[in-house]
Structure 1
Amino acid sequence: MTEHTSAGKAKVIRAFDTDTNYHDAGKGHPVILLHGSGPGVSAWTNWKRILPVLGEYFHVLAPDMAGFGFTERKAGAAYDIKYWVKHLLGFMDALGIAKASLVGNSFGGSLALAAAARFGDRFDRLVLMGTPCDRFMMTPGLRVGWDYTPSRENMRVAMSHFPFDPASITDELVEDRYQTSLIPGAQEGLRQLLAKPNEDGDTPLSGMPEAVVATIAQPTLVLHGREDRVIPVEMGIKLARTIPDAELHIFGKCGHWVQSERQADFVALTLRHLGG
């Protein structure tokens, strides 16, 4: 393993034949934080304020998934949910992690569901935030991310769709994500994750099918912002109705980033659910 400082203090490990950038903190039971999508996303921008807090109770790891952040990009790689599940399992195997809890934000929640459905013995508990379920229409928040071209102004506009209060978008966040968006191929993961928007009319998208969600055996905490303009709150309700062992919390005056907009509540609920 090697270390670099491209975004905070990070480590790099070879996983699924890919040099994988990640951050970690603490010790104990492994908890893997899975980032969302969007322009300039990385594990660091999603989780840097959560890592040290949860790291007081667990060994917390936050990898940049293939196609995102500072992880190696393979020329011609065809990213899809199966690819990302293999990368996640490869990351765990490279670190000798037999079983972990998963905390997934948006795309990361979909990845958590896919991994838990296929490899249930590797995961004990799930926390899902702003996670899609089954079919829905592309929202303005997803559309602006797909259309993004690098500039600080465009990044600020894109980020304004995510929280309930756009005034919470800091210069630091804009700069962090703008710099990450300059990495060659930075949009590839996002544009392979989402369908290309239709020029006219709605663009249908698919989250994890309900039939698959219904097979999730792990106790699952579902968190969703009532005013989420990226993944509609109805998706969180559908998840909680479909997963056999689920608990749902909806936060008023909250958008897509529960972990930052309602950080204290997120931490308290996550610790209770994971047994911290």
Structure 2
Amino acid sequence: MAKNTAARIVSRQVSARGIRTHYLEGGEGPTLILLHSGEFGGCAEITWQFNLDALSRNFHVIAPDFLGYGRTEKLFSFEDMWAKRVRHIADFLLAIGVQNGHFIGNSMGGTMLLAVAAMPECPWPIDRMAVVSGGGKIPNNDAREFMNGYDCSLAYMRGMVQRLLVNKAYHSDEAYIERRYRASLIPGAWECTAAARFKSPGRVASEFRTEPDYSQIPFRTLIVAGAQDNLREPNYADAFVGQIPNAELFTMQNAGHFAQIDDPVTFNAKVQQFLST
């Protein structure tokens, strides 16, 4: 299993329009923004643990914790949390002076990245982007139902790891499971993650939650899919990748929903090649 050797990466905090925002930063070169996944315990240091060091060798890496996740403030709005998270990232990038950058998003972060990129007036300064297990139809299958039922126990977190990752080395890595478990217990983290599922049947979708028109994405795009992703239908990306004018699909055979964790060596090499050529 890959080791976390992100010695170049430092933990920082900044106020983004009054919101205390935590992020990881390191490296030199073109700016690269990493957007994490949205499972219980999800945060920048968990999603990108095995990628930060490698990517920071060639890029100026910035990995924020979304609003309500990790060590960013635990705020939630039932008006439209999706829109608030989109605006929070825009405010965060403005606060730290990012005017242009490449983006990589995983799961929730990837789905949000595609939706934002398709907007007529994109609020994020995107150059190129890579999406890992994001976008397209999100099925309500058994694995996803299990993920949504997290009871804050170590045993349940072990079951989540088994469904998210196909690399069996993680299934028996008690230190790794414990790290995810501890991240899920940060005060307010469970509430902010769970609250997203409480929606009125009569609620009208905002501009951020309508089905994106992928044909309007003007940015060069890499879609990374795990061939053994339990949270997705087989070959799910085939249904939308062709709609993006300048996109390519890279399927990782020995990976699940978190391809960047299952096989970080292959993932790191591919995204660096994509972003650099």
- Length-normalised TM-score, structure 1: 0.85
Counterparts of residues 161-172 of structure 1 (less than 5 Å): 161-169=163-171, 170-172=173-175
Any idea what the Cα deviations from partners look like across 1:22-61, whole Å, max 9, x if unmatched? 1011022110111101111111011122111110111001
CA 1:149–1:78: 2 relative to 1, 3 Å? farther
Please, which moves more after superposition, 153-162 or 137-146? 137-146
Task: Answer yes or no: is the 8 Å Cα contact 1:210–1:242 preserved in 2.
Answer: no
CA distance in 2 between counterparts of 1:103 and 1:75 reads 24
Cα offset, 1:90, TM superposition: 0.8
Cα offset, 1:234, TM superposition: 3.3
CA distance in 1 between counterparts of 2:158 and 2:36 reads 19
CA distance in 1 between counterparts of 2:76 and 2:211 reads 33
Amino acid at match of 2:191: E
CA distance in 2 between counterparts of 1:175 and 1:223 reads 27
Q: What residue ranges of structure 2 are gaps of 5+ in the alignment?
A: 1-8, 200-207
Counterparts of residues 1-276 of structure 1 (less than 5 Å): 9-74=10-75, 78=79, 80-118=81-119, 119=122, 122-133=125-136, 135-169=137-171, 170-194=173-197, 211-275=212-276
CA 1:14–1:174: 2 relative to 1, 3 Å? same
Cα offset, 1:80, TM superposition: 2.7
CA distance in 2 between counterparts of 1:72 and 1:9 reads 19
Cα offset, 1:191, TM superposition: 2.5
CA distance in 1 between counterparts of 2:10 and 2:174 reads 20
Task: Answer yes or no: is the 8 Å Cα contact 2:150–2:156 preserved in 1.
Answer: yes
Task: Answer yes or no: is the 8 Å Cα contact 2:161–2:170 preserved in 1.
Answer: no
CA distance in 2 between counterparts of 1:79 and 1:64 reads 18
Any idea what the Cα deviations from partners look like across 1:202-236, whole Å, max 9, x if unmatched? xxxxx976652221110000110111002334332
Task: Answer yes or no: is the 8 Å Cα contact 1:13–1:21 preserved in 2.
Answer: yes
CA distance in 2 between counterparts of 1:253 and 1:98 reads 36
Task: Answer yes or no: is the 8 Å Cα contact 2:139–2:233 preserved in 1.
Answer: no
CA 1:19–1:233: 2 relative to 1, 3 Å? farther
Amino acid at match of 1:156: R
Question: Number of aligned pairs?
Answer: 258
CA distance in 1 between counterparts of 2:24 and 2:270 reads 22
CA distance in 2 between counterparts of 1:67 and 1:50 reads 23
Task: Answer yes or no: is the 8 Å Cα contact 2:36–2:42 preserved in 1.
Answer: yes
Any idea what the Cα deviations from partners look like across 1:164-200, whole Å, max 9, x if unmatched? 244423222211111111122212343344468xxxx
CA 1:190–1:138: 2 relative to 1, 3 Å? farther
Amino acid at match of 1:102: F
Task: Answer yes or no: is the 8 Å Cα contact 1:40–1:180 preserved in 2.
Answer: yes
Task: Answer yes or no: is the 8 Å Cα contact 1:38–1:142 preserved in 2.
Answer: no
CA distance in 2 between counterparts of 1:208 and 1:238 reads 19
Q: What residue ranges of structure 1 are gaps of 5+ in the alignment?
A: 1-7, 197-206
CA distance in 1 between counterparts of 2:130 and 2:198 reads 26
CA 1:208–1:57: 2 relative to 1, 3 Å? farther
CA 1:55–1:165: 2 relative to 1, 3 Å? closer
Any idea what the Cα deviations from partners look like across 1:56-77, whole Å, max 9, x if unmatched? 1110011110011111112656
Task: Answer yes or no: is the 8 Å Cα contact 1:106–1:231 preserved in 2.
Answer: no
Cα offset, 1:267, TM superposition: 1.1
Query: Residue in 1 aligned with 2:5?
Result: none
Please, which moves more after superposition, 217-226 or 116-125? 116-125
Any idea what the Cα deviations from partners look like across 1:74-122, whole Å, max 9, x if unmatched? 2656553211110111110011001111100000101211232231771
CA distance in 2 between counterparts of 1:275 and 1:45 reads 25
CA distance in 2 between counterparts of 1:274 and 1:223 reads 13
Task: Give runs of ≥4 in structure 1 deviating > 4 Å.
Answer: 75-79, 207-211
